[in-house]
Amino acid sequence: MPVLAVCSGKGGVGKTTVSANLAVSLSPFGKVLVIDGDIALPNLHTFFGLDDPFVSLLDVLKDITYLKDAIYGIKVKLKGSEDEDIVSELHVLPASTSVKALEEIDMERLKDVLESLKRDYDFIIVDVAAGLSKYAIIPMLSAEASYLVVNPEKASIIDSQKVKKIADVSGVKVEGIIVNRYRGEKKMVEYAENVVGAEVIGLIRESKLIRKCWEEGVPVTMRKPYAKVSRDFFDLARRLTGEKIEVKPYGKLKYHLG
């Protein structure tokens, strides 16, 4: 499985939420590493309850630490089907929030770092910065496959169209669109596919549980694996592993229970 970049045009659409929860939901299928590739404004660590300062990707890019010292293990406990817990582990490579640590970073080194990690993992997920700055472009181009996260609204979809165009001319394959914060906007799903020119491979519903669990420093898929929003993430993970699960856009619901 290649390195997967989670990207978007517009900021704040849910890339870090998707990266963290995808890491959890892929963990029963193999060895997973999730990397904070948003080195200018990192916050993946907060989803896993890690407190900065820590040894981070920035130290690795500066060659002042070993890669293994910047990788943190997170225990994942999910309820299994026969009353047995599925216990697995995923790895997180965070980035430091320190402005000082960001000085003199050679982003180009990220490609080598990813290359050296590939043989150790079945899935590597990179949470990429929004937009088209060098902080976004280099991680995106360092991956073999990318996924565009959009919200079901025109502005977010149109911005992602631009990112898709850059990916196309750079030879990065956009494997699909993930519509996050979905509340039954069926027409927007179709619109996203037409405008961006890629298939919607995941619908993640709007849920208050996302913020609640983030405040607790635990991804919703870990804290509440049976919640509807968590099932959306598990379905997405199963699609990424090749299972044929249809994406079924549903219409507006009266209640959107997590």
Which residues contribute to the site for ligand ATP (CB under 6 A)? 8, 11-17, 38, 130, 180-181, 204, 206-207, 210-211, 214
Nearer to ligand ATP, 61 or 136 (CB): 136
Q: How far is the CB of 226 from ligand ATP (least distance, A)?
A: 16
Q: How far is the CB of 208 from ligand ATP (least distance, A)?
A: 7
Burial grade of 206 (CB within 10 A; 0-12, 13-18, 19 or more) = middle
Q: Which of 8, 9, 13, 16 binds Mg ion (CB under 5 A)?
A: 16
Nearer to ligand ATP, 78 or 204 (CB): 204
Q: DSSP 3-state assignment of 146?
A: strand
Q: How far is the CB of 173 from ligand ATP (least distance, A)?
A: 21
Q: How far is the CB of 69 from ligand ATP (least distance, A)?
A: 25
Nearer to ligand ATP, 31 or 211 (CB): 211
CA distance 48 to 81: 25
Nearer to ligand ATP, 14 or 76 (CB): 14
C-alpha angle 84-222-218 in degrees, rounded to nearest 5:
145
Contact window for Mg ion (CB under 5 A) among 9-17, 75-83, 163-171, 245-253: 9-17
Q: DSSP 3-state assignment of 127?
A: strand
**DSSP string of 152-214, one letter each residue:** SSHHHHHHHHHHHHHHHHHT-EEEEEEEEEESS-HHHHHHHIIIIIS-EEEEEE--HHHHHHH
Which of 121, 142, 145, 5 is closest to 68 using CA atoms? 121
DSSP class of 40: S
CA distance 249 to 147: 18
**Matching residue, tokens 């998707």:** 18
Contact window for Mg ion (CB under 5 A) among 11-19, 88-96, 117-125, 142-150: 11-19
- What count of other Cβ atoms lies within 10 Å of the Cβ of residue 142? 23
19 near Mg ion, rule: CB under 5 A: no
Nearest-CB residue to Mg ion?
16
Residue 8's binding partner among Mg ion, ligand ATP, none (Cβ under 5 to 8 angstroms by kind) is: ligand ATP
Q: How far is the CB of 84 from ligand ATP (least distance, A)?
A: 29
Residue 97's binding partner among ligand ATP, Mg ion, none (Cβ under 5 to 8 angstroms by kind) is: none
CA distance 235 to 189: 17
Q: How far is the CB of 13 from ligand ATP (least distance, A)?
A: 5
Nearer to Mg ion, 15 or 181 (CB): 15
Q: Enumerate binding residues for Mg ion (CB under 5 A).
A: 15-16
